[in-house]
Amino acid sequence: MTDIERVGVVGCGLMGAGVAEVCARAGVPVTVVERDAPAAEAGRLRIARSLDRATAHGRLTAEQHEGAAARITVVDRIEALHDHDLVIEAVAEDEALKLDVFARLDRVPTGEHTILATNTSSIPVIRLAAATGRPDRVVGMHFFNPVPVLRLVELVPSLLTSPTTAARAETFVTDTLGKEVVRTRDKAGFVVNALLVPYLLAAIRMVESGGATVEDVDRGMVLGCAHPLGPLALTDLIGLDTTRAIAESLYAEFREPQYAPPPLLSRMVEAGLLGRKSGRGFHAYDAGPHRGEAATAVRR
């Protein structure tokens, strides 16, 4: 059993919306905080569209859809989280932004047992915990995109996370959300991204050097290795900006060449070619009602 009955989520982008949705679908009331009223409305619509898709594909009944939607409140005031048992930060993968969120959360008079969690995919948890006066109650809870579909959560206690905090977080993830947990040390990239990102960067370097086209790299890994997505299509799904941010965190910590972002990745981010969320990355995507379906590849 878990003692976590109310969850707060800071940020309602792709990841924050997904985390809020899975909590609500598990029967937990969720308050989502965005930076202002327009962003809050955009976040509410993002969650609503995801619930609609799940219902249309038969993954939710109409009753389950209605119940999940009723459990989600989207607001623009972080003070609304004062009475929540678990607050999950899910803003963009930017260390300065996340530090600001944790400093603001630390000023919210939450209960003495409230857990502050981060969905960071690469930033060491202790850096974020240090922005608070309660680092023993800060833990990494790294979900994977798309959150309603993928079952894994990386649980990342820092050197100062209390065993009780880690145990409560793990129980919530497994017993309430029904997801699987892998525990990892508090190192940049944790387990999955420390293994995945060098693979993605190698694919980008292959295209950058002219060794193969975008299409052939992705077809090769799908047809030759039975991967569900090629590495460049997967980079588009993750977001090129997020991929670069993770690579930068890994390189800053380990200083190994395999983690260094290739120039092509940086140039594409600077050009606004961020992948599915911008409509174009290594592939171009349909901008119509089914946006997100791969249409054509960007040839390099």
Mean predicted confidence (pLDDT) in 72-78: 95
Catalytic residue chosen out of the listed positions 154, 170, 249, 283: 154
* DSSP label of 262: P
Q: What's this model's pTM, rounded to 2 decimal places?
A: 0.89
Mean predicted confidence (pLDDT) in 64-93: 96
Query: Residue 255 class from Cβ within 10 Å (0-12 exposed, 13-18 middle, 19+ buried)?
Result: exposed
β-strand pairing of 283-285 with 294-297:
antiparallel
Give phi and psi for 283, each to the nearest 5: -115, 160
Q: Is the pLDDT of residue 267 over 90?
A: yes
Catalytic residue chosen out of the listed positions 21, 89, 93, 121: 121
| Confidence at residue 286, expressed as pLDDT on a 0 to 100 scale | 80
Q: Are 2 and 168 within 8 A, CB to CB?
A: yes
Q: Cβ atoms within 10 A of the Cβ of 256, count?
A: 10
SS (H, E, C) 158-213: CCCCCHHHHHHHHHHHHHHCCCEEEECCCCCCCCHHHHHHHHHHHHHHHHHCCCCC
Catalytic residue chosen out of the listed positions 158, 193, 248, 249: 193
Question: What's 7-183's CATH class?
Answer: alpha beta
| Confidence at residue 158, expressed as pLDDT on a 0 to 100 scale | 98
* Catalytic residue check, 193: yes
Catalytic residue chosen out of the listed positions 89, 93, 119, 142: 142
| Confidence at residue 51, expressed as pLDDT on a 0 to 100 scale | 96
Q: Cβ atoms within 10 A of the Cβ of 177, count?
A: 22
Using pLDDT thresholds of 50, 70 and 90, give the confidence band for residue 2.
Answer: confident
Using pLDDT thresholds of 50, 70 and 90, give the confidence band for residue 204.
Answer: very high
Domains 7-183 and 194-297 share a fold: no
Is 194-297 CATH 3.40.50.620? no
Give the domain ranges of the chain: 7-183, 194-297
Using pLDDT thresholds of 50, 70 and 90, give the confidence band for residue 287.
Answer: low
| Confidence at residue 292, expressed as pLDDT on a 0 to 100 scale | 43
CA distance 298 to 280: 8
Q: Is the pLDDT of residue 300 over 70?
A: no
**Which residues are bridge partners to 297 per DSSP?**
283
| Confidence at residue 295, expressed as pLDDT on a 0 to 100 scale | 39
Q: Is the pLDDT of residue 291 over 60?
A: no
Mean predicted confidence (pLDDT) in 50-61: 95
Kindly report, residue by residue over 20-54, the tens digit of the pLDDT. Answer: 999 999 999 999 999 999 999 999 999 999 999 99
CA distance 10 to 164: 23
* Catalytic residue check, 145: no
Q: Is the pLDDT of residue 136 over 60?
A: yes
Mean predicted confidence (pLDDT) in 213-241: 97
